[in-house]
Structure 1
Amino acid sequence: MYNHNLNDKKWIEYWKSNKTYKFVDEKNNNKKMYILDMFPYPSGSGLHVGHPKGYTFTDVISRYKKMNGYNILHPMGWDAFGLPAEQYALENKKHPSEFTNKNIEKFKNQLISLGYCYDFEKEVNTTDPQFYRWTQWIFVQLYKKGLAEIKDIDVNWCEALGTVLADEEVLTDSKGNKVSERGKHPVIKKPMKQWVLKITKYADKLIDELELTDWPIGLKNIQTNWIGRSFGININLKIENDNRDIKVFTSRSDTIFGVTFIGVSIDHYLVKDLIKSDNNLKNFIDKIASIKEYERNKIENEKNGYFLNKYAIHPFTNKKIPIYVTDYVLSNYGNGAIMGVPAHDERDFLFAKKYKLPIIKVIENENECYCGDGKHINSDFINGLNIAMAIEQVNEKIIAAKIGNKQVNYKLKDWLFSRQRYWGEPFPVLFDDNGNIIIEENLPLTLPNTNNISPSGDGQSPLANLSSWVNVEIGGKKYKRETNTMPQWAGSCWYFLGYILKKDDGTYIPLNSSEAFELFKKWMPVDLYVGGQEHAVLHLLYSRFWYKFLYDIEIVPNKEPFQKIINQGMILRNGEKMSKSKGNVVNPDDIVKDYGADTLRLYELFMGPISASLEWMDDGVFGIYKWVQRVYRLFETKEIIENVNNVELTSKYNEFLKNVTQKIEDYDLNLAISEMMIFINECYKADKLDINQMHNFIKVLSCFAPFVAEEINFSFLKNKESLFFSSWPKYDETKIIKKDLNIPIQINGKIRDILISPNNITEDQVYQLAVKLPKIAQHLEGKTIVKKIYVKDKILNLIVK
């Protein structure tokens, strides 16, 4: 019987002592594959079984590509700055680095226990000063190019945590109040001076250059929608009994005769004017302001509004249009005001239905536009044009009437880059007595080593408490350091370059060196990037922004960092995402102890496609465990010799190699495991097994289950070199026995007979044989075949009259 506990430890020690997984940059190998996992935050709870799903997937692909002659980079590191470590340190009166380093060691040991082929001499840690000196350097370059500045801005302020929070770190509780994701503490809007990065300057590139990537269309759409670019026109509408205009933005000016209301955002200037004297309006605003904009903006949510008792005047019909403050018009989009066209916009339709507003259809179909006044087609205005032409003509009329101008709008905001925390990258920035900014060029600027990391109490970072660090004298002049730190996103914006630059001595090749550029030319972009969809927007958007900036200043040689991305699905327990609070977490350490690392690796891949969210099943784990035992027992009990003359099994073997290779190439690893199971079943039917065939099977198995594969290779097949250095086996198509095909023949969609035919038959041959079948000929008598639908080797459908 296979003892996984002894065997797992044996091979972990072997791989470690022999440095099996040490990265080797084969200089003359132009076939490269950079395979990357989204690096984890090393929390105190360690890995849960959701992590290995993606890590095992990339491990299999890395091993497979290496066997196929690729130069492989498959690293791992730690996204280790951030609020959780700081809060834990405060609660336990310890320095966050102590807690962080312990967590990293725990995570690393767990990853090693699962047999992943990471070279940990390549690991990066965002809290390492040798790493974050280059995070700081990139910030300095952004500042020098005018892409970083200090602005007065409304921020999410959490008094209990003593810091500004990003939008993604703020939740809305059951009562509609904004609270922190960590600790559920109250969050308010507060004006503060903060560093912002002008990501909006890259909005067009961030959309347009997605076409350079091989990303899922859904992921591209998420990024595109988040940026929210729209081409349109600003229209100035007169307000009744008011000497001001209201400026609305629309990307569909062809619907201008379908406007039945104007919608404004909760912080529009009209609202700010009226709120002082209207308590009902104030209560309405207070209620909806507590809900995130993107939540309010969802189409499926109820739309709410409040009539401001004001009317805009339609610029062409002079009709009065009521003005409402709404909960779904975004303050940062356009001018915070829209034309409500309920007949042609889903959100506007829901709003109009609720408040019993007119719904006027002015577009007859999606290809042609007939703009009218709601009663009849106004042929003098627009008649029968395609929508693009209609929009352009309406825009021209608006501009000619001097009531509007063309504009490109974005939903994307500049990136709030300051945090009032200790545990983050310090800004290399000094201020003189007049508030002028001086950049510190001597990097890294390291964090002071202190346990005094409590919030300052006045909205500043804990660093503000450390006067000896804050106040510096240079050349006889006194300066103060910036006391905010960078957000956790900073290090993750470029960490994938850090792996390439990491040297064995723990230092990094300078990011701005010619040596680095040559390495980036070889290894970038990342060929395969795997991680959860929760990072579909912010991490990917921010890292693409930094990478594009580095391209513009000639640090990297290409425009996009990640060529192909796969978002792994979640592993569910009782239909829900695993979490400690729900008590439904499965600890991978327990699975490894009870069933072995190979069982966990195989099970997580066998559950289903990598992108699917699937239910964890204990019975499934045990089933895979029994299969691992079955594979080991085969080699333990069967006679395995050279030159076994078994034509049937040789056919099955070559068919297996062909199928499993294709499944891995297609990233269908669950189906690849099925192919291995099928082949093992065939092996059990044979009296003797061919040693070359079984050695090649073990090579395949080693990508998925390296522990048992190495043991079989060493103990039963008597090979002394690790399977990690093997070559991928080739199949022989000529030795695959071709079976007859069973092709259903349909007439008008109903199966009338089955054609038994040889392999490699042509469509015309299938047709000629099919019409001669007695049952088919009977149904064709007196009929005319009007169409033939043939799916190769699968089915022939004859459409007759």
Structure 2
Amino acid sequence: MNQPLVPSNQELGAGGFIFLGVEDVAMKKYEPQTIEPKWQKAWQRQDVYKTDDDKNKPKFYALEMFPYPSGEGLHMGHVRNYSIGDVVARFKRMKGFRVLHPMGADAFGLPAENAAIQRGVNPREWTLNNMKRIREEQARLGISYDWDRYVGTCEPDYYRFSQWLFLLFYERGLAYRKQAAVNWCPNCSTVLANEQVEDGRCWRCDAEVEKKELEQWFLKITDYADKLLEGLDRLPKWPEKVKAMQRNWIGKSKGAEITFTIPELGDEKVSVFTTRPDTLYGVTYMVLAPEHPLVPQLIQGKPNEETIRRFVKTMQNESELARTGSDVEKVGYDTGAVAKHPLTGEDVPIWVANYVLMDYGTGAVMGVPAHDERDFAFARKYDLPIRRVIFPFGTYDPDEKLEAAYTSEGVLDHSGPFNGLSNKEAMRKIPEHLQEKGLGGPTVSYRLRDWLFSRQRYWGCPIPIVYCDSCGVVPVPKEELPVMLPEDVVFDGKRNPLTTSETFVHTTCPSCGGKARRETDTMDTFIDSSWYFLRYTDPHNEEIPFAADKANEWMPVDYYIGGIEHAVLHLLYSRFVTKVLHDAGMVNADEPFTHYFPQGMVLKDGSKMSKSKGNVVSPMEIIERYGADTARMFILFAAPPDRELDWSDSGVEGSYRFLNRVWRMVQQHAGLFSNRPQAKPEDEAAKALYRQLHQTIKKVSDDIGERYQFNTAISAVMELVNAIYAYPEEADRGTLAEAVEKTVLMLAPFAPHMTEELWSQIGGEGSVHAQAWPMFDEKALVQDEVEMVVQINGKVRDKLVVPVSADKDAIEKLAMEQDRIQHFLDGKTIRKVIVVPKKLVNIVAN
């Protein structure tokens, strides 16, 4: 930008100006309430942050997780998230990158529907009003978004392509419908994915989750389990704890599948998965999940049939945590049926118990109490046999009774042809033996289950499927998208509102033209955030979700910022969708985010901010009082960005004082820039300031661009400002001018409004944010001299400046020649002189 960036005459305001002489600016106070709106309007009018399309520059895609447009507006966690992303985006532009920095709204979701029920308004109206408010608040923070790329996921031009992508999944065999026991939130009246159940409760409203049988749509994320695991190894810029969370959720386990048979059901087969096939000969019972489809047949006509039926019903409404927690009592019932052990032919009693879940493995487990702590406790409680088959290496008693489960390595006994093998050998040989006999074999199991995709609510993306009596399940043709949300719905909180719209439900079959009904479930809103980063690359495409060349130009995202609470849900789904689109040839990247940075939570008085605790601090109140630049400076300076930050009113005031100090510093020296002298760092003071300036440039550059530690970058600038204030009047003015100018440039990403104003005051052309980032002088970093303290018996008595290259003898000689040191040593005997180069000299004397 060659022309000065200036506000229009109408926007200058009472204290506005482009450039004034030193006498005028010396009287001007720092007034963020005047400065900030003035420059925000100028940036908007001149489209300063429109994405640069110069292909000769390297690309950088900076992205913060987009917000849900709730009625509360932005909170301090948002301010921290957006400020981090904005600093990086502004820094990269100044470093010569073309930057994509977009924003939008994750606008579908249950809270809007609940608000519609409570307030008697349409969710769309409520959501769009909130989106408008949040955009205004983001603009007031001075975030450098390319607003032309804004997307709202509730808008038809976006959810049309969410539907388009669903059809792509359907065509590729990755979307299917089946009857399933699902997680049901009675408070939200909707289904939850496994990932949305936290400690047995709804992730959104904290209500206890129940189990319910429903016909549901699923996406086959399990088909991508191995790719999702393998991809984590290629993400070195992701936190290890986040990758560990995803690995644990996918839960890949190597082991064996073992087939038992049930004689009374005509040798019906029941498979179990175990990671310990070496303990197979120690099986003394089997446990089925209460929901296992064979349970009703096994208990029919048995003495405790009614007791078990009541137990099964109770378990169906119990949360996973309530059934499997480490402190939960294990409860079970004997069905009276038996299974045949695949290798010994023994009868193995079949139980049902609370701790076995149908969602994991096969819904059946083999009980090996001698070698599993949970099984041991269960067997002790119900007086079931405990058979030991693994013993310590060396001498052992094969008939020794156990007082606790033996879970260490050892040698097999009581295990038929496998006696004498180490248990590690047996873990390989027993599955091979089972495979030869057709009774199972080596296999891999996953904790991950397919993505439960259906939601029984209105405010979400309609699933583009119709049901025809003649044709069955029929996808809506892509050219007929979007399937629009209807307006004639009833929000009474008692049912899915979509089922109340006659105009929506009743339609014609796209295949035969006959009568049909629409799918009334909507998509899980996590689909919206699983591809929005791709839409940003081509937000106005009316034909397809995004053009491959546009996506390939920007993807993957280089720096993605958001809370760690999304480590499993959002990030896993985003990775899955990206991999599917990669396999479909739509984008080259198979991972969406190169660098994921989870910012720490903002606390108040040691607790998470919440209305119920009365400890919420409003970002807008801080902006009204101190300005957006102060809010940004505090939130970036108060703690490392990945750590928790405890809110401090005094800390905010400290940041405000610092900005005022910078303001006064520039006012004081603004006259230097009307006829700026050349820097000549020849005197000692100029040399020291020049060195500190370039040390600061290097540190701030590294802290922002490599380490992402913004608090230490700000601290370094603060020290430089102190040095400028202490700079002598008689020292080189050119060096001072350079230090002042580059301080403004280094603060630009942190305090964009104030630095824009200061840049205009010192005669800078264009926007401060369009300037090149300062380069540091390598030679200036090399110190010729160093200051050392001189101690006598551990007490500091003097200081001296010595050449960096001076050896110990030369340093000792200089120290002993100092007048103050000779004075303190008068009449004393020197016993020893200790020299620590570049630090201190300690003279031991008595």
1 CA distance for matches of 2:247 and 2:805?
A: 45
Partner of 2:47: 19
Cα–Cα, structure 1 residues 364 and 8, in superposed 2: closer, same or farther, change >3 Å? farther
1:660 aligns to 2:706 (yes or no): no
TM-superposed CA distance for 1:453, in Å, is 3.5
Q: Deviations over 1:229-272 (max 9, x none)?
A: 22221123467999666532112323445656644433235654
Distance 1:348 1:67, change over 3 A: farther
Residue matched to 2:626:
595
Which of 697, 706, 711 is residue 752 of structure 2 equivalent to? 706
Structure 1 residues 203 and 179, CA gap change in structure 2 (3 angstroms): closer
What is the CA–CA distance in structure 2 between the aligned matches of 1:269 and 1:420, rounded to whole Å? 26
Following superposition of structure 1 onto structure 2, how do residues 510-589 of structure 1 map, counting pairs within 5 Å? 510-511=543-544, 516-589=547-620
- Name the SS for the 1:51 alignment partner: helix
Partners of 1:190 and 1:339 lie apart in 2 by 27
Q: How does 1:314-333 map to 2 (within 5 A)?
A: 325-333=352-360
Q: Which residue of 2 aligns with 1:60?
A: 87
Counterpart of 2:7 in structure 1 is none
Structure 2: gaps (5+ residues): 1-28, 394-405, 730-734, 790-800, 808-830, 840-846
**Take 1:68 and 1:733, find their aligned partners in 2: how far apart are those partners?**
18
Which residue of the partner structure matches residue 439 of structure 1? 475
* Aligned 8 A contact 1:260 1:360 in 2: no
Structure 2 counterpart of 1:712, one-letter code: L
Alignment deviations for residues 367-399 of structure 1 (CA, whole Å, 9 cap, x no partner) = 99533238xx999535458x3x54212222333
Q: Which residue of 1 aligns with 2:63?
A: 36
Q: How far apart, in 1, do the equivalents of 2:756 and 2:614 lie?
A: 36
Secondary structure at 1:501 match in 2: coil
Cα distance in 1 for partners of 2:518, 2:202 equals 31
Cα separation, 1, equivalents of 2:247 and 2:740: 49
1:254 aligns with 2:274: no
Is the Cα contact below 8 Å between 1:94 and 1:451 reproduced in 2?
no
- Cα distance in 2 for residues equivalent to 1:469 and 1:398: 52
Match of 1:189 in 2: 211
- Residue 714 of structure 2 corresponds to residue 673 of structure 1: yes
Matched, 1:74 2:101: yes
Partner Cα separation in structure 2 for residue 414 and residue 54 of structure 1? 31
> Which position in structure 2 is the counterpart of 1:753?
none
1:32 shift after superposition: 0.9
SS at the partner of 2:105?
Answer: coil
Q: Distance in 2 between matches of 1:485 and 1:401?
A: 47
Q: Secondary structure at the match of 1:690?
A: helix
What CA distance in whole angstroms lies between the structure 2 residues aligned with 1:301 and 1:793? Answer: 59
Corresponding letter in the other structure for 1:248 = V
Letter of the 1:2 counterpart:
Y
| d(CA) in 1 for partners of 2:693, 2:462 | 59
Pairing 1:413–2:413 present: no
Listed as ranges, the matches of 1:236-247 within 5 Å are 236-237=259-260, 246-247=270-271
SS of residue paired to 1:500: coil
Give the AA of the match of 1:252.
R
Give the Å deviation of 1:337. Answer: 2.5
Count of aligned residue pairs for this structure pair: 739
Structure 2 counterpart of 1:210:
232
SS at match of 1:710: helix
Tell whether the 8 Å contact from 1:113 to 1:597 is kept in structure 2 after alignment. Answer: yes
Structure-2-length-normalised TM-score: 0.79
Q: Percent identity?
A: 37
**1:84 lines up with 2:111 in the alignment:** yes
2:763 matches 1:718: yes
Amino acid at match of 1:511: I
Distance 1:761 1:572, change over 3 A: farther
The letter for the 2-side match of 1:55 is: Y
Q: Separation in 2 of the partners of 1:356 and 1:757?
A: 83
Query: More displaced, 349-358 or 91-100?
Result: 349-358
Do 2:235 and 2:595's aligned partners in 1 also have CA atoms closer than 8 Å?
yes
Aligned: 1:728 with 2:773: yes
Equivalent-residue separation in structure 2 for 1:712 and 1:280 (angstroms): 79
Alignment of 1:487 with 2:514, yes or no, is no
**Structure 2 residue matching 1:36: 3-state secondary structure:** strand
CA distance in 2, matches of 1:189, 1:519: 44
Q: Which moved more, 1:72-81 or 1:222-231?
A: 222-231
Letter of the structure 2 residue corresponding to residue 563 of structure 1: T
Cα separation, 1, equivalents of 2:349 and 2:92: 64
What is the CA–CA distance in structure 2 between the aligned matches of 1:245 and 1:324, rounded to whole Å?
Answer: 16
Compared CA separation, residues 347 and 675, structure 1 to 2 (3 A):
farther
User: 2-side partners of 1:579 and 1:291: how far apart?
Assistant: 29
Larger mean Cα displacement after TM superposition, 111-120 or 309-318: 309-318
CA distance in 1, matches of 2:687, 2:89: 33
2:334 corresponds in structure 1 to 308
Which residue does the alignment assign to 2:646? 615
In 2, Cα distance between equivalents of 1:350 and 1:653: 67
Q: Quick one: distance in 1 between partners of 2:313 and 2:514?
A: 48
Quick one: which of 108, 111, 119 aligns to 2:135? 108
Take 1:499 and 1:721, find their aligned partners in 2: how far apart are those partners? 27
Shift of 1:602: 1.5
> CA 1:639–1:721 in structure 2 vs 1: closer, same or farther (change >3 Å)?
closer
Which residue of the partner structure matches residue 683 of structure 1?
A: 724
> Offset at 1:690?
1.7
**Given that residues 131 and 508 in structure 1 are in contact (C-alpha distance below 8 angstroms), is that contact kept between their aligned partners in structure 2?**
no
Code of the residue aligned with 1:3 in structure 2: it is E
Preserved contact between residue 305 and residue 324 of structure 1 (Cα < 8 Å)? no
Residues 1:501 and 2:538 are matched in the alignment: yes
Q: Is the 8 A contact 2:465 2:476 kept in 1?
A: yes
Instruction: Return the alpha-carbon distance in structure 2 between the equivalents of residues 8 and 128 of structure 1.
Output: 31
Code of the residue aligned with 1:193 in structure 2: it is E
- Structure 1 contact 455–462 (Cα < 8 Å) conserved: no
What amino acid maps onto 1:143 in structure 2?
Y
Q: Residue 267 of structure 1 corresponds to which residue in structure 2?
A: 291
SS across alignment from 1:235: strand
What do residues 104-158 of structure 1 show as CA deviations (whole Å, max 9, x unaligned)? 1110111111111001111111112111221111111111122222222233445
Please say which of residues 445-454 and 127-136 is displaced more in the overlay. Answer: 445-454
* Partner residue in 2 for 1:785: none
Partner of 1:391: 427
- What letter is aligned with 2:764? N
Distance 1:4 1:353 in 2: 72
Residue-by-residue CA offset, 1:397-423 (whole Å, 9 max, x unaligned):
333454322322222222222222222
Contact conserved, 2:196 with 2:569, CA < 8 A, in 1?
Answer: no
State how far apart, in whole Å, the 1-side matches of 2:642 and 2:241 are: 12
Structure 1, 474-483 or 538-547: larger mean CA deviation: 474-483
Alpha-carbon distance between aligned partners in 1 of 2:432 and 2:838, rounded to the nearest angstrom? 58
Separation of aligned partners in 2, 1:658 and 1:350: 61
Aligned partners of 1:468, 1:362: CA distance in 2, in Å?
Answer: 64
* Whole-Å separation in 2 of the counterparts to 1:262 and 1:741: 77
The residue number in structure 2 matching 1:637 is: 668
* One-letter amino acid of the structure 1 residue matched with residue 275 of structure 2: S
Which residue number corresponds to residue 751 of structure 1? none
Amino acid at match of 2:429: Q
| Superposition CA RMSD, Å | 3.8
Bigger drift between 469-478 and 117-126 goes to 469-478
- Match in the other structure for 1:606: 637
In terms of mean alpha carbon deviation, does 551-560 or 445-454 score higher? Answer: 445-454
Deviation for aligned residue 1:102: 0.7
- Could you state the TM-score of these two structures normalised by the residue count of structure 1? 0.83
Aligned to 1:694: 740
1:477 and 2:503 equivalent? no
d(CA) in 2 for partners of 1:718 and 1:566? 37
1:155 aligned counterpart, secondary structure: strand
Seen in structure 2, the aligned counterparts of structure 1 residues 649 and 355 have a Cα distance that, compared at 3 Å, is farther
